[in-house]
Every structure is written in C-alpha cells, then in structure tokens.
Amino acid sequence: MCGIISYCGNRQAIPILIDGLKRLEYRGYDSAGLSTVDKNKMVTIKTVGKVSQLENKTAGTRINSSFGIAHTRWATHGKPSETNAHPQTDCHNKISIVHNGIIENYLELKEELQNKGHQFKSQTDTEVIAHLIEDNYENDLEVAIIKSVERLVGTFGIAVIHTDYKHQIFIVKRGSPIIIGIGDNEFFAASDSNALAPYTHKMVYLSDDEIAVLNSNRFYIKNMKNEILEKKIEILDEDEYKMDKKGYEHYMLKEIFEQPESIKNAFRGRIILNEGVSKLGGLEPVLGRLKNIKKLIIVSCGTSYHAGLLGRYIFETLTELDIEIELASEFRYRRLKLNEDVAVLAISQSGETADTLAAIKEAKRKGALLLGIVNAVGTSIAQITDAGVYNHAGPEIGVASTKIYTSQLVIITLIALFIGRYQTVSFIEGSELLTALKKLPDQIKDILKNAKQIEKIALRYAHFKNFLYIGRLYNYPTAMEGALKLKEISYAHAEGYPAGEMKHGPISLIDENFPTIAIVPKDSTYDKMINNIQEIRARSGRILSITNDGEDKIKNISDDLILVPQTLSILQPILNIIPLQLFAYYIAKEKGCDVDKPRNLAKSVTVE
C-alpha cells in the first residue's frame, strides 16, 4: 500500500528518494511522485506506473536539492493518475505533502476550504491537508501543521515541505506508520524501515499524534502540546530487512524455499525439551494475567486470519481456554464481552494492518489483555500490544504470504503449549509436540526437493479457471489458505471449503472443468475425506490429493497425488501448505502473472 520516503541532508536528494521508492515497490502501488525545493521553487514530478518511469522523468531535470519527500500511491480516493498521485500541493505551490492513510472528513473540509476560495486540482483526500495547512499558516509552519491535523479525522502519516523552510521536513503520525532514520548529519523518514536499510539502521518510531521536524544537522520530536519528547533509538538488525532474491526468479519462490530456516527461527531458543514446554520471553511480563484468562479471541486478516483459524483448533487442543476467531474487519461490529479475563491475540505479518490495529484498539478500550504475533519489529501492532512474540522470519517481500504463514503456525503452537502446560497438557505430550516441531524443517526440505514434480502437476492445472480446495479439521484452514494463494497470484477463481460443507452447496459447481484440491492427511478425517472425493468423482470432477498416505485407496481415486511427510495431526498443516504454495506459484508463473506484485493488492494494508 502507499509508501513514504523523505530525505534531509547534504547529498543530492533525488537519487535517495528514488532508491527509497524502489525499496517500497513491493508494498504495491499504482503511481509515484516526489517534491523538492530548487532555487526557492517547489518542484514536483509525478507519474502513473513504475518508479523507474519516475526515475526517467527526473533524469534530465538537473534539480539541485538535498531535501525532499516522495511517495508511492495505492489509489483510494480518485483513480490512478498524475493529478491524483502524491505529492499534493496548495494553491500557491509553496506547500507540498505526501500522505499514507485516509482522511475521513475530507469532503466536509474540502467544501469549507473551497468556500474560502481554495482551488483543488485532484480527487484525493490528501490535497485537503495541503490546503488546510495553507489556510492555517500565518508565520510558523509547525503551528499551522498542528492546527491542521487537529481538524483531521482518520488515519495519516504525512511529510510536508514548504518553499520558505529550506532543509526542513515536517512529519506527523496518527494511525499510519512513520519511522525516522538517523544518519550522520542526515535524516530520513519512511513508512517502512526497508526503505532506509542502505542508509541507516538507527530508527525512531513515531507514536500517534507526534510531530518530527528534520533538518540536515538535527531533528526533534514533539507531542501536540508542543513538548519535546525523548524517544528511544532502536538499532535494527540487518537481517530484519535484507532484500535480495538470492538467485531465485521471484521473492515468493525464495520465501517458500526459506521455510526450513524461518521455521527454525520461529522456535530457536524457545523450546525446553526436557520440560516439554516452550519458553517465550515476550510473554513473561504478562504471565500472571495470562495464567488467569478464560477466553482468547484471535483477530487477523487474510493469510494471518487463516493462521488464526487453525490457531482456534490448536488452542482448543492444547488449552482449556474458550477460543474465538474473528476477522479483524468485523471485530468492531460485535458486542463482545471483553474484560480482564479475556486476551485478544492479533496476528499480523506487517504489524500495520489497519483493520487489525483498529480491532485491538477496540479491545484495549474494553480492558482485554492484548497479545501479538508480529513479524515486522517495532511496528504499530507490536507497540500497542501488552506482550507478544516476534516471528523473526526476516522480511517477506512477495505480496502473497508464505513463510510468515508457517512461522505464525509454529508460534501459535508455542503459545498454546506455553499456556497449556500451566493447565492440563502433560510433560510427555509437550515433549512429543516439541520433538515433532523440531523435525519440521527437514520434512519441509524433503517436500521442496519435489518442487519440479509439483511444477509438472501444476502445469496440468494451469488452464483451469475455477478450483475448489477442501479439507477438514486442522486442514480446513489449509484449504482456505491454499485457495487464497492461488487466487491472489494467478487470478484463477478458487474457493476454500471445509469438506463437509461441500454437499451443502459448492458440489453443484463440480464438473470436468472444475478441479478439486483435496487435503487428505492420514488422521481422524481420512475416511470422511475419501467419501468426499468419491462424491466429486461421481460428478466427473478432477482430483489432486495432498496426502501422506501413498496407498492404493487414495491413489486410485485421485487424478494426481502429492505426497508429504507425516507429522502429528496438529502440525500436519504446516507441511501440507508447502506444496499448495508451490502449486499456486507455478500456475501464476505459467500464466505470466506478476507473482510478487499481484494486481490491486498491497503487502501492507494500511487502510480499513
């Protein structure tokens, strides 16, 4: 989704801004632009499409400036166009602004400003901020910005420059992430630490309603009461944001192949085998409260929601808690009884998903204990939660989440065991689970060795337009996630269903052109899954089975079969999803789709 990068220092700004934008490209966007001040004039260059096009446009301009703001836009208000791209400017082209988030009361403000004579050029909500600052400006830009943001309803991370304030950038945050990067006599601001990786590892995370003012040799941060704040400088580990395809054709493929390592990173140092328990330092501060909770509600979106869906079964198996799982975007509409007996667990790769953030803010208001499973260190969800566990899976650049999903499942299992061992789970059960967990990386390596065979199978399915994915119990979420992977990157229509529900509707879709991907582990669901496959075959449906049973019973009724190693039922989904990720990848590649940046999607969804 939208990305911001700003630079203020002694070097030429444009190459740094362009480079930063390129590092934000993976988030998904449709247009890009930048502003700087050269010879006392605001210079703004924008384009629809790729950052490389913006780079070409800046190439012949000979701009000489060492500060500026830049943006990649993912359209919300107004279609992708040069006019609607950011930066947006005021009437006199003195103020320029880039913005992430949504201004909910922009129409009302726009009308008010138009009545005062302001001329608007774009259809964006962002432009209203530039005009509002212009309207509030007397002789102090900082004061004008503070006055203006007080009027804004919604979420924003903004960066503002003014032709009269050379070498100064004003940053404000409410709801959308902004990080300040600290270099040697140079400062940066970005919506994502990845954009700053080549320049500095020293970061300060702004909290809501804080304003940062950067210039080339100093910066300060204030709250809205004009008080200077002492903020902690975080040093980010290089591995947290290394962006490199390492010879793989796509980030997604690389990330699928990184799973043996990302899973190890999820449990490294978190297992005490001889006590059959997990050790989660991030939860220790709330241990007293955690031991007393009666109910856990998991909130998340997309792939993280599927991890939560499986989490419900995992927590039910390992703990005595009442478990609910809710889509973060729906959570706020419910009249849930939240109190100190309830913990709300947010699961989010990016740590910035607006729906999840809104859900946990709601839960906080009502007194629940907030827990998080987050990959991106220091992000909003990580900051707001009372305690949590980081994935430590490294950056995930492909928009389709792969390695984070399996990493989330490992961490959910560790949290459930952590709680369960204070309840009824025995030492033996805990040890068995952890022993099986430790074997997963090698078992995944075995699956990945068959990637070529999975590719061959995938190519036989690439021409189909519709797919049904079915599974039961622990593998119902696997079916959902397998279908999501295929639809988001290959644009084929795919539905994930609990297999038992098939006969209540989706079976009417089945014919020879509507294949089914059946997830058939050798567990308590096996016989029922075999029955479902028979029902599909009776309607001429083609079947690809993902199973750990190589026997004739399943072979004879499947058109294609992918074998995965066997583990405990509760962990089997972590293995079963790997061939489905590869299946989706190879189909999307065969269809010539932009695998890492599927159309209309963004990596970090920062609007509700």
Query: Of the ranges 144-152, 310-318, 343-351, 538-546, which one interacts with ligand M6R (CB under 6 A)?
Result: 343-351
Interface residue with ligand M6R among 31, 329, 353, 379 (CB under 6 A) is 353
Nearest alpha-carbon partner for 349 in 376, 384, 388:
376
Q: Are strands 369-374 and 387-390 parallel, antiparallel or unpaired?
A: parallel
Please, what's the b/e burial string for 576-595 (b: 16 or more CB within 10 A of its CB; e: otherwise)?
bbbbbbbbbbbbbbeeebeb
Q: Is 488 in the site for ligand M6R (CB under 6 A)?
A: yes
- Does position 302 interact with ligand M6R (CB under 6 A)? The reply is yes
**Residue 399 makes contact with ligand M6R by CB under 6 A:** yes
Instruction: Give the full edge-to-edge strand order of the sheet including 543-547.
Output: 493-498, 466-471, 516-520, 543-547, 560-563
Contact 342, 370 (CB under 8 A): no
Q: Is residue 349 a contact point for ligand M6R (CB under 6 A)? A: yes
Residue 303 beta carbon to ligand M6R: minimum distance, rounded to whole angstroms: 3
Q: Kindly state the smallest distance separating residue 602's Cβ from ligand M6R, in Å.
A: 8
Strands (E) across 195-349 are located at 202-205, 210-214, 219-223, 234-235, 271-272, 277-278, 295-300, 322-327, 342-348
Kindly indicate which of the ranges 61-69, 82-90, 281-289, 342-350 contains the residues binding ligand M6R, using the contact rule CB under 6 A.
342-350
Q: How far apart are CA 464 and CA 460, in angstroms?
A: 9
Binding letters toward ligand M6R, positions 354-373, x by CB under 6 A:
--x-----------------
User: Counting beta carbons within 10 angstroms of the beta carbon of residue 265, is it exposed (0 to 12), middle (13 to 18) or buried (19 or more)?
Assistant: buried
Shortest gap between Cβ of 486 and ligand M6R (angstroms)? 11
Stretch that binds ligand M6R, among 148-156, 193-201, 301-309, 538-546 (CB under 6 A): 301-309
- 301 is an active site residue: no
CB-nearest residue to ligand M6R:
302
Show the beta-strand stretches assigned E in 432-534: 466-471, 493-498, 516-520
Residue that the structure tokens 């704040």 belong to: 229
Helix, strand, coil percent content, the chain, rounded in steps of 5: 40, 25, 35
Q: What does the angle CA 460 – CA 466 – CA 472 come to, to the nearest 5 degrees?
A: 95
Q: How many CA atoms lie within 13 A of 420 on its CB side?
A: 24
Q: How far is the CB of 437 from ligand M6R (least distance, A)?
A: 22
Q: How far is 149 from 422, CA to CA, in rounded Å? A: 47
Among 66, 259, 319, 348, binds ligand M6R (CB under 6 A): 348
User: What is the Cα–Cα distance from 347 to 393, expressed in whole angstroms?
Assistant: 14
Positive/negative CA dihedral, 392, 394, 399, 402 = negative
Applying CB under 6 A, the span of 138-146, 153-161, 298-306, 314-322 interacting with ligand M6R comes to 298-306
Q: Which of 254, 589, 597, 603 is catalytic?
A: 603
Least distance CB 302 / ligand M6R (angstroms): 2
DSSP-assigned states of every residue in 159-212:
EEEETTSTT-EEEEEEBS--EEEE-SS-EEEESSGGGGTTT-SEEEEPPTTEEE
Q: What distance lies between CA 498 and its chain's CA centroid?
A: 25
Total binding residues toward ligand M6R, as defined by CB under 6 A:
16
Our finding on whether 326 is near ligand M6R (CB under 6 A) is no
The nearest distance, CB 530 to ligand M6R, in angstroms, is: 30
Nearer to ligand M6R, 31 or 349 (CB): 349
Q: Which two tokens stand for residue 177?
A: 């992430």
- CA 182 to each of CA 31, 36, 165, 296, 372: distance values in angstroms, whole numbers, following the listed order: 27, 20, 20, 39, 27
Residue 329 touching ligand M6R (CB under 6 A): no
Instruction: Assess 301 for contact with ligand M6R (CB under 6 A).
Output: yes
Q: Tokens for 519? A: 């997830």
Instruction: Give yes or no for residue 400 binding ligand M6R (CB under 6 A).
Output: yes
| Ramachandran category for residue 97: left, alpha or beta (phi over 0 → left; psi -120 to 50 → alpha) | beta
- Counting contacts by CB under 6 A, is residue 350 touching ligand M6R? yes
Alpha-carbon torsion, ordered 514, 517, 518, 522, to 10 deg: 160
By CB under 6 A, is residue 191 in contact with ligand M6R?
no
Minimum CB separation of residue 357 from ligand M6R in Å reads 9
485: helix, strand or coil: helix
**Interface with ligand M6R includes 318 (CB under 6 A)?**
no
Q: Does 259 bind ligand M6R (CB under 6 A)?
A: no
Q: Is 490 a residue that touches ligand M6R (CB under 6 A)? A: no
Q: Which is the catalytic residue, given 2, 8, 301, 593?
A: 2
Of 6, 304, 329, 391, the one binding ligand M6R (CB under 6 A) is 304
How far apart are CB 381 and ligand M6R at their closest, in Å? Answer: 8
CB of 2 to ligand M6R, least distance (A): 14
Does the footprint of ligand M6R cover residue 177 (CB under 6 A)? no
Nearest residue (CB) to ligand M6R, 400 versus 437: 400
Span of 20-28, 398-406, 426-434, 466-474 interacting with ligand M6R by CB under 6 A = 398-406
Question: Does the footprint of ligand M6R cover residue 401 (CB under 6 A)?
Answer: yes
Q: Does 605 bind ligand M6R (CB under 6 A)?
A: yes
Whether 2 is a known active-site residue: answer yes
Rounded Cα distance between 219 and 197, Å, is 19
Give me the residues that bind ligand M6R (CB under 6 A), please: 301-304, 348-350, 353, 356, 399-401, 488, 601, 604-605
Q: Which residues are catalytic, by number?
A: 2, 603
